[in-house]
Amino acid sequence: MTSLLSDDLLASLRERAADYDRDNAFFAEDLADLQAAGYLGAMVPVALGGAGLTLRETARAQARLSAHAPATALAVNMHHVWVGVGRYLHERGDSSLDWLLQEAASGEVFGFGYSEPGNDLVLLGSRTEARPDGAGGYTFHGRKIFTSNSPAWTRLGVLGIESPGGGRNGRGGNGRPGNGRGGEPRLVHAFVTRDGGGFEILDDWDTIGMRASQSRTTMLDGAHAPADRVLRLLPPGPSLDPYVLGIFTSFEVLLASVYAGIADRALELAVDAVGRRTSMKTGKSYAQDPDVRRRIADMALAQDSVWLQIDGITRDLDASASDPALDRGAGWFRATAGLKVRVTEAARDVVDLAIRVSGGSTYFNTSELGRLYRDVLAGIFHPSSDDAAHATVAQSLLGPLE
């Protein structure tokens, strides 16, 4: 991990972060540096050309990256999610995404084209139409939002729904394309390429935070996935298919790590700030103020808990590939959705406390803490939402709603 994210590299990323934010610019230089360092292949197994980092190691690396350049880390995260899915399947004897692992190691950039306006089903449904091409492939037609890496992705994972009776291929084992003709709607998970066309990226990313991610709206109008890039055909609704589990767990865990990194940095800045500030009332450093000390301690206690959770869940996910006793099955949805919500909410609280103890200077746009305050807010918009996580936990305890 140290060789992939050197101190010099991270210092360069931190130096550029404020400029990207101010100019609402994509992190092009950061991406080039991370590619050159081999970071896009961090989680790819060594045998397939990557660095072989585990999910736990990658989560730690992503937090370290986020502490220096949050928006860069968030966008790179969407690439790492796909690599995480490929690794999840590979470790469980499914080679259907080995091509993705090899392409990630060779420099291809992957984007995540699943989010849609008004679609709170996320992985369980889609507003995008998937039209069969008659040869086992599909064209996609719909609107995708929050598509990070929009200026740079070369491969885009997409989800659409096939109309009843519209498929030329049935669903084989594990939801993979097979023979036959189905009569029910099916969710089509596939990949399209940038050079294949059939899409338009809107220049509409002007947000209050995470600006460098340039997670623009993508209009799909015939983007084509050939048969060998159609990975799953699944019925709408909950699924324990390893592909879906791989997406969900990788997304939630790595997303949590990005916001944990923001909170780590906020705590570091707060400790520095109170050590430098002096109270005119007492003539002492704010580091000697009991109220300030309690707030700093609250921040540290929250972060200690966050990392215990991230390390524990990623350790079990990594080990579950070879130890069935650690495989929670459907329980992974509860574990990782809960992790994402707890970590992002804790991060918001930590950044808020950091601003309270650091003074009014953080209200200026030139303040790094002020930028972190805007960046950390994005955590509430990623799935799983607070409501969705609570519904998942309730279902695990009480069963489904009638």
pLDDT tens digits, one per residue of 109-121: 999 999 999 999 9
Residues 6+ apart with CB under 8 A from 324: none
Specify the pLDDT at position 166: 56
Separation of alpha carbons 88 and 251, rounded Å: 12
Residues 6 or more apart whose Cβ sits within 8 Å of residue 43:
50, 51, 52, 53, 54, 55, 58, 80, 83, 84, 87
What integer pLDDT is reported at residue 37 of this predicted model?
Answer: 97
Quote the pLDDT of residue 121.
Answer: 92
Segment 239-255 shows an average pLDDT of 98
Question: What's the rounded mean pLDDT across residues 12-22?
Answer: 98
Please report the pLDDT score of residue 164 as a whole number.
Answer: 65
Q: Identify the burial level of 130 via C-beta atoms within 10 angstroms of its C-beta, where 0-12 means exposed, 13-18 middle and 19 or more buried.
A: buried
Span 204-224, pLDDT tens digits: 999 999 999 999 999 999 999
| Cβ atoms of residues 304 and 221 within 8 Å | no
Angle at 252 between CA 320 and CA 240, to 5 degrees: 55
167-194: pLDDT as tens digits: 544 333 345 544 334 578 999 999 999 9
Res. 402 pLDDT band, cuts 50 70 90: confident
Question: 42 and 5 in contact (C-beta within 8 Å)?
Answer: no
DSSP state of 197: -
283 has pLDDT over 70 = yes
pLDDT computed for residue 78 by the predictor: 97
pLDDT for 353 equals 98
Residue 155, phi then psi, degrees to nearest 5: -135, 130
| Rounded Cα gap, residues 248 and 392, in angstroms | 13
Instruction: Tell me which amino acid residue 316 is.
Output: D
Is the separation of the CB atoms in 266 and 371 below 8 Å? no
Tens of pLDDT, residue by residue over 141-162, are: 999 999 999 999 999 999 999 9
In angstroms, the CA 270 to CA 278 distance is 14
How large is the average pLDDT for residues 321-336? 96
The DSSP result for 90-118, as a single string, is HHTT--TTHHHHHHHHTT--EEEE---TT
- Give me the pLDDT at residue 168, please: 45
**Which residue from 262, 261, 289, 260 is spatially nearest to 275, judged by alpha carbons?**
289
